[in-house]
Structure 1
Amino acid sequence: MKILILKRDKLGDMLLTTPMFALLRQQFPDARIDVLANTYNAWVIDGNSDVSRVWSYQRVKEGGRIHWRAALLQARQTLALRAEEYDWIIVANGDASHRAIKRAVWLGGRQVVSYVDARNTHRRVTHPLEIPKRIHEARRMANLLTPLGVTLPDTLPPLRFHLPADAQAFATTWLAEQGLAPGGYITLGLGARRAKKQPTTEQILRWTQHFNDAWGLKTVFMWTPGKSDNPMYPGDDETAQPVLDANRPWIVPFRGPLKPALGLIFNGRTSLFPDSGLMHFAAASPGGVLGFFAETDVSPPPDQWGPIGPKADWLEAPKAVSELGDELVLARVEALLQK
């Protein structure tokens, strides 16, 4: 059997699809299980033994520019994929996507599985599925396997992610330079694009002092580089600055790209992150994560996007994380440290 899974989403979304890959491999141990992803998110599944091959492509439009060479390469890739004559093509989107469905149809699989709705569908989708409501995104992905006869277990397989070697090498060098040992610190990040999901400067200063005084753990404080008005990738430089200005000796700042950040997260004792892609990667790390959610009547709720794993926990605030009491937050962090 030959199966192709289309996954065009963000990095955290790709990570949340890895339980789906594991279920497929368990059900069809001899199948060829390929993934079609873009160059932005394909590296997330490097080294994943549940996947036979990753086909990657560059986006044709990035940063407002059209990349004609990428368009040509995608056309050639489409012909190569059609020649594979896949038995199943699965559109691994949590919602119905006309563009993803169209791409799947172009690839000519014998059976095509996708979530659809009134506006996003195609007559050649052989297994159109209704979009499930209020279930976790990882289970929503796994639910796409039901037309293949896969029965979903009560507990999905764990997230699977292999820390890149260069990320580990960076962490080893950087930690030595900062006088930190693996497991000797907590990572706290500002990875959300909405201020209501982020702890305040005062909360960060109080929590990190407790980490240091009560547990002897310093804090690696990280944030998304850049200005908040960046239309492509809003950053948190302005939000992070008051924490830096406080100049606390137990806070070690890190402002850098994603893969080095992952190296630091995976070498820490545990992590705290707002709802974000980094939160999901931290959930897959040895130390786990405490995630923060707020105003979930208008923002994505934790029952769909909460961190998952044996060392994953989350807190939900009515309107903003600033409402969460220190005692509650610190008790949850301590529980993670004891797991």
Structure 2
Amino acid sequence: MKILILKRDKLGDMLLTTPMFALLRQHFPGARIDVLANTYNAWVIDGNTDVSRVWSYQRVKEGGRIHWRAAFAQLRQTLALRAEEYDWIIVANGDASHRAIKRAAWLGGCNLVSYTDAKNSHRKVNHPLEIPRQIHEARRMANLLTPLGISLPEVLPPLRFQLPAEAQTFANQWLAEQGLTPGSYITLGLGARRAKKQPTTEQIIRWTRHFHEAWGLKTVFMWTPGKSDNPMYPGDDETAQPVLDAKLPWLVPFRGPLKPALGLIFNGRTSLFPDSGLMHFAAASPGGVLGFFAETDVSPAPAQWGPVGPRARWLEAPKAVSQLEDASVFAELESLLK
């Protein structure tokens, strides 16, 4: 059997799809299980033994520019994928996506599985599924396997992620330069684009002081580099600056790219992150994560996007993370430190 899974989403979304890959491999151990992803998210499944091959493509339009070489490369890749004559093609989106469905329809295949709705479908989708609204994103992905005769277990397989070697190498060097050792710090990040999901400067000062005085742990404080008005990748430099201005002796700042950040997260004792891709990666790390959500009547809720795994916790605030009691944060973290 030959199966192709189309996954075009963000990094955290790709990570939440790994339980789906594991279920496929468990039920069809001899199958060829390929993934079609873009160059932005494909590296997330490097080394994943549940996947036979990753086909990656560059986005044609990035930063408002059209890359014609990428367009011609995608055309050649589409022809190559059609020649594979897949038995099943699965559009791995948690919602119905016209673009993803259309791309999958170009690839041929005997069976095409996708979530669809009144505005997003295609005549070649011969296994349309209704979008399940009340389940977690990882379970939404796994639910796409039901047309293949796979019944979902009560507990999904764990997230699978292999820390890139360069991320570990960076962590080893950076920690040594900062006088830190693995497990001697907590990672606290500002990885959310909405202020209501982020702890305030005052909370960060109080929390990190407690980490140091009560548990003897320093804090590696990280944030997304850049200005908040960047239309492509909004950053948190302005939000982080007041924390840096406090010059806390127990706080070690890190302003850098994603993979080095992952190296630090995976070597820390545990982590705190707002709802974000980094939160999901931290959930897959040995130390786990405490995630923050706020105003979930209008923003994504933990029922769909909460961190998953044996060492994943989350807290939800009515309107903003600033409303969370310190005691509740410390109690959840203490359970992760045991």
Q: Is this a same-fold pair by TM over 0.5?
A: yes
- Describe the superposition over 1:160-187 as per-residue Cα deviations: whole angstroms up to 9, x where unpaired: 0000000000000000000000000000
- In structure 2, the residue matched to 1:283 is 283
SS in 2 for 1:336: helix
Percent of residue pairs identical: 86
* Equivalent AA in structure 2 for residue 25 of structure 1: R
Structure 1: how far apart are the matches of 2:177 and 2:152? 46
RMSD: 0.3
Answer yes or no: is 1:188 the counterpart of 2:182: no
| 1:36-185 equivalent positions in 2, closer than 5 A | 36-185=36-185
- In structure 1, the residue matched to 2:309 is 309
Q: Tell me the TM-score normalized by structure 2.
A: 1.00
The Cα shift of 1:97 comes to 0.6
Structure 2: how far apart are the matches of 1:8 and 1:243? 35
Q: How many residues align?
A: 338
The Cα shift of 1:101 comes to 0.5
The Cα shift of 1:126 comes to 0.7
- Describe the superposition over 1:265-323 as per-residue Cα deviations: whole angstroms up to 9, x where unpaired: 00000000000000000000000000000000000000000000010000000000000
- In structure 2, the residue matched to 1:260 is 260
* Equivalent AA in structure 2 for residue 8 of structure 1: R
The Cα shift of 1:134 comes to 1.7
Structure 2: how far apart are the matches of 1:317 and 1:97? 30
- Describe the superposition over 1:214-241 as per-residue Cα deviations: whole angstroms up to 9, x where unpaired: 1000000000000000000000000000
Structure 2: how far apart are the matches of 1:319 and 1:103? 39
Answer yes or no: is 1:7 the counterpart of 2:11: no
- In structure 2, the residue matched to 1:300 is 300
Answer yes or no: is 1:332 the counterpart of 2:306: no
| 1:1-40 equivalent positions in 2, closer than 5 A | 1-40=1-40
SS in 1 for 2:272: strand
- Describe the superposition over 1:115-160 as per-residue Cα deviations: whole angstroms up to 9, x where unpaired: 0000000111010000001210000000000000001000000000
* Equivalent AA in structure 2 for residue 87 of structure 1: D
* Equivalent AA in structure 1 for residue 209 of structure 2: Q
Structure 1: how far apart are the matches of 2:319 and 2:310? 27
SS in 2 for 1:140: helix
* Equivalent AA in structure 2 for residue 163 of structure 1: L
The Cα shift of 1:210 comes to 0.5
* Equivalent AA in structure 1 for residue 198 of structure 2: Q
- Describe the superposition over 1:29-51 as per-residue Cα deviations: whole angstroms up to 9, x where unpaired: 00000000000000000000000
SS in 2 for 1:72: helix
Structure 1: how far apart are the matches of 2:122 and 2:39? 26
| 1:233-252 equivalent positions in 2, closer than 5 A | 233-252=233-252
Structure 1: how far apart are the matches of 2:201 and 2:122? 49
Structure 2: how far apart are the matches of 1:216 and 1:100? 49
Structure 2: how far apart are the matches of 1:334 and 1:289? 11
Structure 2: how far apart are the matches of 1:58 and 1:123? 27
* Equivalent AA in structure 2 for residue 242 of structure 1: P
* Equivalent AA in structure 2 for residue 85 of structure 1: E
Structure 2: how far apart are the matches of 1:134 and 1:148? 22
- In structure 1, the residue matched to 2:231 is 231
Query: Unaligned stretches of 5+ in structure 2?
Result: none
* Equivalent AA in structure 2 for residue 319 of structure 1: K
* Equivalent AA in structure 2 for residue 251 of structure 1: L
* Equivalent AA in structure 2 for residue 219 of structure 1: T
